[in-house]
Amino acid sequence: MVTELRPPELLEPAVDVTAAPGSSATISCRANATRATASWRKTAPETRALRHGGRFAISLAPDGLASLTIHACRASDAGVYCCLVSNELGGVQSSARLTVGAGGTPGVPTVRAHPGGGLVVQWDEPAPVHLEYCRVGEGEWRRATETPAAASTLALEELPAGQYSFRLVCSRGGYGPASAAAACGGGGGWQREQFARRYALAEELGRGRTARVVVARDTGTGHRVALKQVVAGRGADAVREYRILSRGAHAAVVRALALFAEVPRAGAHTLVLELVGGGPLLDWAATSSQYTQRTVAHHTKSLLSALEWLHANEVAHLDVRPENILVELGGAQPQLKLVDFGSAVETGEKGASTVRDVLPPRARSVGIRTPGMCPRSAADTRLGRLGRWRFPICIPNWAVAVLGRLDRGDDGEHYQVRLLLPGGALGRRGRACAGAHPRPAGALACAPPRAAGRA
């Protein structure tokens, strides 16, 4: 049986297709043709011929169905595709548009091992997205990108050893599906080598539940620095603390100089901070003969200025207390330094789908509270005694009281109270009593002085 050779005839034109990023998309048309071949090319926004192989699969079935399948679709694959079915007597063509990701959720990022340790994550989206990662077994998603990007290849060389999943987050479609868990052997060898060359460790300054602080000498500059070594499993806290401290500078906020991941061991992180030489505020003030009421007012203004700067940068410290306020004695006069941002939160991350509520504490009659912003459930803190003068406290209207002990009566200790008004003016004197009878934590029986005029 001899089949008559005829020019191809289009039976079913190609139709437009929409695909989610990372999925497969097939564009097809059908033609009545004998001894024919099918070729595909992209005609918009750029023009290029397509070949069978890799992510592209081209086929022509015996019934005349010509198909183009694109695997793991990317945003850059979007455009117009044209199919040409031809034989010796002529040809016929049909075009269709491929749309990637419009109106859908983000796709699945591609994850592969990094030659130097860690993982490499790649994505291609039509709109800017953030990358998040989750260590298997922890259940907490953490942000891996500073700014959103539509297409990027990100090398995460500082991840501790473990299994990790990744997902994309965008305002258009929310959260994308998580990638399959990828094994990370842990990087950081290069960082540990550079750290060992740069810093010579000396004595330990202090140790807490999640970190220890060590004095070291920077061999490059000869200056002494403080190394905050964060334990394994709290790396995200160290990265956030470094991000907060390195975004700007304030005279009353400790400066961050560098961050070393996987140092001194896998999973740990080391923050390099400026060394504050005077120690905690209470220890210094207890031994200083010049710690007067005017000095307290000056230091209070400095501390409030630091908090105002943090809040303007959408950061809440959440752990402002005397132990986290150090004194720098290297200048012309003592300078307060607010430290330990391990509990701090960023209240307005750009691109985040939600913003955490960080509120000041509820007002009481008069309560002793930390000067920083506090979460809704934060408890009051007790007043720490300091010789004649007391550390500044905040009361419900957010003025600051300077306390000085007067005498002891049958009803407890009596204190002199003055308010530091907006602009630094001191309000009129008043009298407060911290009674000997049981009271709620931090409560004072006090008739607040009028906040008008100067004493």
So which residues are the catalytic ones?
319
Residues contacting 73, CB < 8 A, separation 6+: 19, 20, 21, 22, 23, 24, 25, 98, 100, 107
Asked whether the CA dihedral 230, 233, 237, 239 is positive or negative, the reply is: positive
Q: Is 254 exposed, middle or buried (0-12, 13-18, 19+ CB in 10 A)?
A: buried
SS3 readout for the chain: CCCCCCCCEEEECCCCEEECCCCCEEEEEEEECCCCEEEEEEEECCCEECCCECCEEEEECCCCEEEEEECCCCHHHCEEEEEEEEECCEEEEEEEEEEECCCCCCCCCEEEECCCCCEEEEEEEEEEEEEEEEECCCCCEEECCCCCEEEEEEEECCCCCEEEEEEEEECCCEECCCCCCEEECCCCHHHHHHHHHHEEEEEEEEECCCEEEEEEEECCCCCEEEEEEECCCCHHHHHHHHHHHHCCCCCCECCEEEEEECCCCCCCEEEEEECCCCCEHHHHHHHCCCCCHHHHHHHHHHHHHHHHHHHHCCEECCCCCHHHEEEECCCCCCEEEECCCCCCEECCCCCCCCCCCCCCCCCCCCECECCCCCCCCCCCCCCCCCCCECCCEECCCCCEEEEEEEEEECCEEEEEEEEECCCCCECCCEEEEEECCCCCCCECEECCCCCCCCC
Q: Are 110 and 72 in contact (CB under 8 A)?
A: yes
Nearest Cα residue to 168 out of 222, 127, 223, 112: 127
Number of residues assigned to the chain: 455
* Residues contributing to the annotated binding site for ATP: 228
Question: Regarding beta strands 90-100 and 17-19, do their DSSP bridges make them parallel or antiparallel, or are they unpaired?
Answer: parallel
Task: Determine the Cα angle at 399 with ends 396 and 404, to 5°.
Answer: 105
* Residues contributing to the annotated binding site: 228
